Amino acid sequence: METGWISFALGAAMFTLMFGMGLTLGAGDFRRIAANPRATIVGTVLQLLVMPIVGIALANFFDLPPILSAGIVIVAACPGGMFSNMYVHLARGHTALSITLTASATLVTLFTLPLWVQFALARFPTGGAAPIEMPVLETALRLGTLTVLPVLLGMSVRHKWPAMAIWEKKLSLASAIVIVGGMTIEGSSRPEIPIDDFITSIAPAAGFALAAILVGVTLPPLFRITARDTVTIAVELVVKNTLLGIVLVGQILDFEAVLPILAFAIFQTPGGILLLVGWRLLEKRGVLGRSEKSDRAISS
């Protein structure tokens, strides 16, 4: 970014946002990985392996330029976010699984996201222009500073002062406002806002949201995962931590790479809500073949 204080503000806001996530987590959330390994493993693999491949395939299908390809792959490789946890909780899905998937994927993303984006940048030709690079080690260190460190710090604070958990919502809201505001200022400071690139990003972003829904609802049942856990995994695939992607672009890449992320943000919330509403309607009408009551009892 051209303006140093905006870059600093975005990084500080992301740190605070992930610190807030840490305030919602305890050691028990990670112990659930061992208690419910099948759904956790399947959900994490789909988030961090299958969906980035889908993102690369879409970038190739739509013949996106390298910088926009990087943006769509960043979206695809990002973990689920706190909004996915909130939506699942409000719909009475498997909240513990949602939180576990978000936390575990956030930790693993430290290593996987830089590699996926570097692979995408190396794959798509630049047409003779200077190659675009995302330094893997530097990106991993930045991700660690923006995600793992504040999450662990937040968990430590919650462990020592449990009452601090009540600050999570306020911290998250303030951080989101700073991130959105900072990127708005950055975009408005440019001589020409690349509207054409944003329009170009809409179709692949919509395609990725649709693909996430299809992958989320079709693959987990193949591993005998219950309908409740399946819809929870699907929401994690659709409702991404796009703020992390936006901040990462601001720290590492050119502004244009944020456009696919902004385009995807238009579709992720409607996609997540559609999944949960559809599941609740099917459950209410008795269409689901497996009872979810025993699953709730196990998770409580």
Reading the block at residue 23, the tokens are 């305030």
Taking only the tens of pLDDT, the chain with its 300 residues reads: 445 666 677 777 778 877 877 787 777 666 765 676 889 899 999 999 999 999 999 999 998 888 898 899 989 998 887 778 778 876 777 877 887 888 778 778 878 888 887 787 777 655 444 455 556 566 667 667 776 788 788 888 888 888 887 777 778 778 777 766 766 666 555 556 678 888 999 999 999 999 999 999 999 999 999 898 999 999 999 999 887 787 777 767 777 888 999 899 899 989 998 999 988 888 887 766 544 444 444 343
Kindly report the pTM of this predicted structure: 0.75
CA 138, 141, 143, 145 torsion: positive or negative?
A: negative
As a whole number of angstroms, the distance between CA 78 and CA 257 comes to 14
pLDDT for residue 75: 92
In the three-class reduction of DSSP (H, G, I as helix; E, B as strand; rest coil), residue 260 is classed as helix
pLDDT for residue 271: 92
CB 149 within 8 A of CB 106: no
Domains with residue ranges and CATH for the chain: 4-299 (1.20.1530.20)
Angle at 146 between CA 203 and CA 13, to 5 degrees: 80
pLDDT for residue 248: 76
pLDDT for residue 18: 75
pLDDT for residue 245: 81
pLDDT for residue 103: 77
Other C-beta atoms closer than 10 Å to the C-beta of 37 total 10
User: Which own/partner pairs from 28-37 qualify as long-range (CB within 8 Å, at least 24 positions apart)?
Assistant: 29/96, 29/99, 29/100, 29/103, 30/100, 30/103, 30/104, 32/96, 32/97, 32/100, 33/100, 33/104, 36/96, 36/97, 36/100, 36/298, 36/299
Place of tokens 């706190």: 82
Q: Return the bridge partners of 240, or none.
A: 80
Cα atoms found within 13 Å of the Cα of residue 180, Cβ hemisphere only = 9
As a whole number of angstroms, the distance between CA 77 and CA 109 comes to 7
- DSSP secondary structure of 46-75: IIIIIHHHHHHHHHHHTT--HHHHHHHHHH
pLDDT for residue 139: 64
